Amino acid sequence: MIIAIDGPAASGKGTLAKRLADHFGLPHLDTGLLYRAVGRRMLDEGLRLEDSEAAAAIAEELEVVDLDETRLRGGEMGEAASVVAAYPKVRKALLDLQRRFAHQRGGAVLDGRDIGTVIAPGAEAKIFVTATPETRARRRHEELRRRGADLPFEDVLADIRRRDARDAGRADAPLKPAPDAQVLDTTALDIEAAFQAAVVIVQRRAAP
C-alpha cells in the first residue's frame, strides 16, 4: 500500500506521515529532505542556490542513505529546498529515487508536495494536508522557538507565504491536491485528531 501525503510548508504533513508509517508498519520518506540535502550541499560547497545546473548535478548523485536529518532542518534549509525544488532538472533527477522508494515491496508512506500528482499517482490513499497560513506560521514559529531561534512571527509568516507562492507557482509539478486526494484541513485540529482523521481516510481508501 502506498500512502501519499502532500501539503504546503508547516501543514503538519511530516509528523502525520511518520505516525501513519508507524501505525501501518510501512517505511517512510520525507521527500522534502531530498531537496534540503541538495540545498545543504550547495551551501556547504559555497555554490549559489541560483545555479540550477549545479543543483541538478548534486541531485543526480543523491541517495536516501545520504540524508542526515539533523543537518537538514531549520528555516534556512527550508528556504534553500524551496529554491532548488523549482528547478525542473532537479525534480527530474530525484523523480526515480522517490518512485523506487514508493514502489518497494509492501509499499511506503511518502510526504511532500507532488507525491499524489507526480511521484505516485496510483497510490491507494492520498491525503492533502493543509491549514491557514497563520496557523502554519504559528506552528513553525513555536518549533523554531523550541530550537532556540527567536524569529519574529511576522517574518515566519512572510516566509510561509513566500514558499506557498513559489511552490504553487512553479511550472514543474506545482503544489496542488491530486484530483482524487482527500483534503484534510488541520487548522482546528491537534496532531492526535489529525492522525485519527488520516487513519480513517487511509482505511477507507485502502479497503477492497
Quick: pLDDT tens for 3-56. Answer: 999 999 899 999 999 999 999 999 999 998 999 999 999 999 999 999 999 999
Distances (CA, A) of 198 to 4, 138, 162, 205: 11, 22, 27, 11
The answer to whether 39 and 49 are in contact (CB under 8 A) is yes
Q: Is 74 annotated as a binding residue?
A: no
Q: In this structure, is residue 145 part of a structural domain?
A: yes
pLDDT (tens digit per residue) in 155-199:
999 999 998 998 888 887 888 999 999 999 999 999 999 999 999
Q: In this structure, is residue 29 part of a structural domain?
A: yes
pLDDT (tens digit per residue) in 145-162:
888 888 899 999 999 999
Q: In this structure, is residue 207 part of a structural domain?
A: no
Q: Is 13 annotated as a binding residue?
A: yes
On the question of pLDDT at 94 being above 90, the answer is yes
Q: In this structure, is residue 105 part of a structural domain?
A: yes
Q: In this structure, is residue 61 part of a structural domain?
A: yes
Q: In the numeric block, which cell numbers belong to residue 118? A: 507526480
On the question of pLDDT at 200 being above 70, the answer is yes
Centre a 10 Å sphere on the Cβ of residue 144 and count the other Cβ atoms it contains. 18
Q: Is 122 annotated as a binding residue?
A: no
Q: What is the pLDDT of residue 73?
A: 78
Q: Is 12 annotated as a binding residue?
A: yes
The answer to whether 127 and 4 are in contact (CB under 8 A) is yes
How many separate domains does the chain show?
Answer: 1
- pTM, two decimals, is 0.87
Q: What is the pLDDT of residue 208?
A: 65
Q: CB under 8 Å to 198, separation ≥6 — which residues? A: 5, 16, 19, 20, 127, 129, 184
Q: What is the pLDDT of residue 64?
A: 87
pLDDT (tens digit per residue) in 114-129:
999 999 999 999 999 9
The answer to whether 189 and 165 are in contact (CB under 8 A) is no
Q: Is 25 annotated as a binding residue?
A: no
Domain limits for position 99: 2-202
Q: Is 11 annotated as a binding residue?
A: yes
Compute the distance between CA of residue 151 and CA of residue 78 in angstroms, rounded to an integer.
Answer: 15
Q: Is 15 annotated as a binding residue?
A: yes
Domain of residue 160, CATH code: 3.40.50.300
Q: In this structure, is residue 208 part of a structural domain?
A: no
Compute the distance between CA of residue 168 and CA of residue 164 in angstroms, rounded to an integer.
Answer: 6
